[in-house]
């Protein structure tokens, strides 16, 4: 890691288009990284387009929906300008203020005019990708740094017995594949297997899912737990043996797999995109959108507790790289290198 990290405090301007109180994967990563950058000795100002109020709970400065003048002032203040996902409307000050620009990629860059503009702009940025799947999608080089999870919250609770089989955690929308999971459960029932299932989350597909579960005669084994957070969520995850992540689309990563794994669940997920990397050797995969393959994999695992145990044994080592402290150190190393290699960084080092 460059010496700058140990010798100097960096002023980091952190752009996160969405942020708390909004809830989602990007918001979680932004919160964890910003807190950890401060904990490791750096100064952070975070800008976001998400409305909110009451910033007393943060260890860093939050500025919501900054004006053009305020944004330009913030870019002049910083040593490194970091975008947690590229935002062209927030990049324009770099045309006037010389600062190293680092962009972390969490999603696929779309086709079309907006995507082409982003690809052109990224030639002037230092890139980070959350998975090798994302890195392969880009036309510019990037360093692969996987996402962190909240290791202070998600953990095993030895006093909580594992009394249930399968859990799903996420929004109840079609892309997340909950409907396909229900179809796989129907196939398992036809083969004499009726594992207990908990669905955690809410969304527009809930009524349709409930109707299909009733039609398949699964009402007695499937529980809708609604939205859970904090210790309540951790305790519920700890009560399950496996977490199913049946995404139909290509997930860029999949923090939920880390959260489940940290609570002692064996993740079973779609193999496309970056989800397989999020699970590592601690999880099992099946082809996206294939209910038959999912039901067959679940049957194998349900009938073989020893195989579940072997997968679970890889979790601790896999999770070590995904702690907030470890991931933040990797990010800070990229920031320091970008700063040292920039004209601004060299001028800063000479005290100009």
pLDDT of residue 52: 87
Give DSSP secondary structure letters for 39-67.
HTT-EEEEEES------TT-SSEEEES--
Domains of the chain: 4-148+323-349 (3.40.50.2000), 164-318 (3.40.50.2000)
CA distance 259 to 350: 44
Question: What pTM did the predictor assign?
Answer: 0.93
Let me know the angle formed at the C-alpha of 10 by 7 and 16, rounded to the nearest 5 degrees: 150
Check residue 6 and give its pLDDT.
42
The two tokens of residue 75 are: 């870019």
352 three-state secondary structure:
coil
Nearest to 12 by CA among 4, 24, 22: 4
The one-digit pLDDT tens for each residue of the chain (352 residues) are 444 444 489 999 999 999 999 988 999 999 999 999 999 999 999 999 999 876 668 999 999 999 999 999 999 999 999 999 999 999 999 999 999 999 999 999 999 999 999 999 999 999 999 999 999 999 999 999 999 999 999 999 999 999 999 999 999 999 999 999 999 999 999 999 999 999 999 999 999 999 999 999 999 999 999 999 999 999 999 999 999 999 999 999 999 999 999 999 999 999 999 999 999 999 999 999 999 999 999 999 999 999 999 999 999 999 999 999 999 999 999 999 999 998 887 777 666 6
Other beta carbons less than 10 A from residue 27's beta carbon:
19
């Amino acid at each position: 890691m460059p010496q700058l990290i140990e010798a100097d405090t960096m002023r980091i301007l952190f752009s996160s288009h969405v942020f708390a109180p909004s809830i989602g994967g990007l918001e979680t990563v932004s919160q964890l990284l910003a807190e950890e950058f401060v904990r490791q000795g750096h100064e952070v100002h975070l800008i976001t387009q998400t409305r909110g109020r009451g910033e007393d709970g943060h260890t860093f400065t939050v500025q919501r929906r900054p004006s053009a003048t305020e944004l330009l002032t913030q870019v002049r203040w910083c040593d490194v300008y970091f975008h947690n996902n590229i935002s062209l409307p927030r990049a324009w000050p770099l045309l006037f203020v010389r600062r190293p620009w680092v962009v972390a990629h969490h999603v696929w860059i779309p086709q079309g005019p907006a995507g082409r503009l982003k690809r052109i702009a990224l030639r002037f940025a230092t890139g980070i990708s959350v998975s090798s799947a994302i890195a392969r999608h880009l036309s510019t080089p990037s360093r692969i740094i996987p996402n962190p999870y909240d290791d202070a919250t998600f953990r095993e609770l030895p006093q909580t017995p594992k009394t249930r089989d399968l859990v799903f955690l996420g929004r109840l929308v079609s892309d997340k594949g909950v409907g396909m999971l229900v179809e796989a459960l129907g196939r398992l029932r036809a083969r004499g297997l009726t594992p207990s299932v908990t669905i955690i989350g809410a969304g527009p597909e809930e009524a349709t899912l409930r109707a299909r579960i009733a039609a398949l005669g699964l009402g007695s084994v499937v529980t809708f737990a609604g939205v859970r957070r904090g210790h309540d969520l951790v305790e519920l995850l700890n009560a399950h043996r496996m977490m199913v992540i049946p995404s139909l689309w290509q997930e860029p990563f999949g923090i939920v797999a880390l959260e489940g794994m940290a609570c002692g669940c064996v993740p079973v997920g779609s193999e496309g995109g970056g989800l397989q990397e999020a699970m590592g050797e601690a999880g099992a995969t099946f082809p996206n959108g294939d209910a038959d393959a999912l039901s067959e994999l679940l049957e194998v695992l349900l009938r073989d507790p020893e195989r579940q145990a072997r997968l679970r044994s890889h979790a601790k080592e896999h999770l070590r790289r995904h702690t907030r402290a470890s991931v933040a150190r990797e990010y800070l190393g990229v920031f320091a290198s970008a700063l040292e290699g920039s004209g601004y960084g060299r001028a800063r080092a000479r005290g100009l």
